[in-house]
Chain A
């Protein structure tokens, strides 16, 4: 971890010495002002533009499928005999057909609506050269966006956030696990919460704040900063969360967290990136029911989220992207499961997405030692999101230029 980017030297609860309303970054202030050159002098419009996150504040929601999602049973080449031959025990027999050759696992039926509306893009054959079959190495590669020895031990989204103007809460992980390396920047401090609703400080707040006010050195400073950020974030979340109606959301952790994301975006939290996670995809044995349940959890949550955003008029400001560290072996194993593999599809969803299938399904006839060959480097997906959605310079963030994938 590095120097704090947003800690104030005084008490974390003391007002920050900004010239602009705290919910607004300087960049978006300027953008709003430029967007309404004539209206900027009108107090009503000005205040509105200043207090809501204005247009141009696109939000990215990262959904990590932890464990290596079986892409082949997620987006299914059901017309291919080789598929059914490789998977006599666990092959999907009744897909939700999207095209004459390709369908979704039936548990993802809820995504059909987004597909029909053209709000769901499926990027096929995503991976990287010499794919690692280690969960941990491959996750690090996806998060740092560096294959081989990482040039920098920081995440691709974290580095993008580093380049944006600081905000009170630049991004938010709705997951109590250690902060995802994807969101770890070299400058930025990203909070993580298990539940935005119950994330509140209990106790003598002044005393607690005083104990973490003075900057320390080394690891003590890392701990202090987390404490100070926690106290500050708790206040900000309370302001932005508002109440809401969970109607339409199923009763799962993933759904509850996405519901909170929708409320926080609506409530003007200046976070540009949110991260949530669904675990359990390491399906080495008897994967049928387990995988179906996971995909049901995913599909239902994403569909409810998209519908909620639409109802709130926010769907054009939010882009959802799923990813997993790798796909799985084409041939099922003796345990009615699948071992670690390589390329897999990922989903991109949102009101401004150009829906459809992007790229061909990797060939089942031309395998690399039993694994699918990727054709779309995952960093092309990142570059597209960075350049076209977050408006961050992908070349600088990723250290190289990658051709965009036209899903947005």
Chain B
């Protein structure tokens, strides 16, 4: 195993535990961080990957899902998902689902069926920590995806290349690891993979069952074969490795770490939970504190959890849009580019405004510099500087909002 993926052996203290909770979860209040800090790095990673025996909040939210989806309103589904992110105990399940939503980047703006979007997101919640191959198979048959990438009309004799292209470019291999001919051939394999009565439907009549050559392999391939061939490529391990590292660890992971984690993914059958357990206990993970910009959802959910505030989930959906992360409506099929692209002047002012609304529900414990330090350690990827601490300590009733307007509060 690569040096940087080996278990972290430095001090696993309060700040290291807070880092783990900000990255693998949506932060946590002080008491929870203190508990985690008593564990070894490996036990802490295992506990956060596997989650608790029982997740009462998840069960409670699950029981109202049918009602939420029944409204036919996408904002109701958004609010339900945000409540999950703030309240569910098995936090990593929520976070990996958000990762897959960004990876498969399907938008309600084209799909036009909020319930379908909810159903797709539930694939990510249910299978997000399992084997990527299984997830890909389910997503490839998912009606929202079939509509999103126009496979509905991909038919024998007149292939529509959209799904095949994005499968290779954005879901498995990355640009440069296939040819235009691979796309044309793979598109034929997905002909006839359609929707009927809101469900996936295979139309044998419209399927091209002739021989295709995809990524050097020749056969009468269907869509599952193409997915399997893509997954077997070294490039797929590397591609997924880079995306996971960029989401959970560091914006610009070193090539050798990308390669090594990619090999780990392939060797372990792309079982995501198992691989994340290695990652969250690794040296590279614990060397990456403060290097990532929080996504708007991370900013909202982490702030609420750290201050133990209340989330007005229906208002939050609009705030997220203004901050550039319209849940269930990513900007395009590549998803949100993340990291520093989250921040520009427009999204910064939206974060300041959102912070004010969030902070109005926060009940800050303590005051002055003690409170600044205590909350800063939970919230900020980097400690606030002395100058800002002075201003913050004097901020009185503005303290929570002012903390949220520190650049450091937007780092993870």
Contacts and interface: CB of A to CB of B under 8 A. Distances in A.
Interface in A192-220: 192-194, 199-204, 207-208, 210-214, 216, 218-220
A137 B382 contact: no
B158 A178 contact: no
B235 to A, nearest CB: 15
A77 interface: no
Interface stretch (B125-133, B214-222, B385-393): B385-393
Interface string A331-347: 00111110110000000
B112 interface: no
A307 B83 CA distance: 49
Given A135-B334, A340-B165, A202 B153 contact: no
A202 B353 contact: yes
B180 interface: yes
Contacts of A177: 324, 331
Nearest to B408: A220
B395 A207 contact: yes
A137 B348 CA distance: 27
Interface residues of A, number: 57
Contact of B332 (A135, A207, A333, A335): A135
B352 A203 contact: yes
Contacts of B407: 211-212, 216, 220-221, 223-224, 227
A137 B161 contact: no
Interface stretch (B17-25, B64-72, B94-102, B397-405): B397-405
B335 to A, nearest CB: 11
A178 B153 contact: no
A173 B281 CA distance: 41
Contacts of B347: 176, 192, 226
A71 interface: no
A334 B322 contact: no
A223 B293 contact: yes
Nearest to B342: A178
A234 interface: yes
Interface in B127-158: 149-150, 152-155, 157-158
Given A178-B344, A222-B340, A207 B391 contact: yes
Contacts of A98: none
Contact of A191 (B154, B160, B344, B398): B344
A207 B160 contact: no
Contacts of A137: 175
Given A178-B342, A211-B402, A285-B153, A201 B352 contact: yes
Given A211-B391, A211-B406, A230 B349 contact: yes
Interface in A282-320: 282, 284-285
A233 interface: yes
Contacts of B165: 133-134, 340
Interface of B: 149-150, 152-155, 157-162, 165, 169, 175, 180, 251, 290-293, 322, 324, 331-334, 337, 339-350, 352-353, 356, 382, 385, 387-388, 391-392, 395, 398, 401-402, 405-408, 410-411
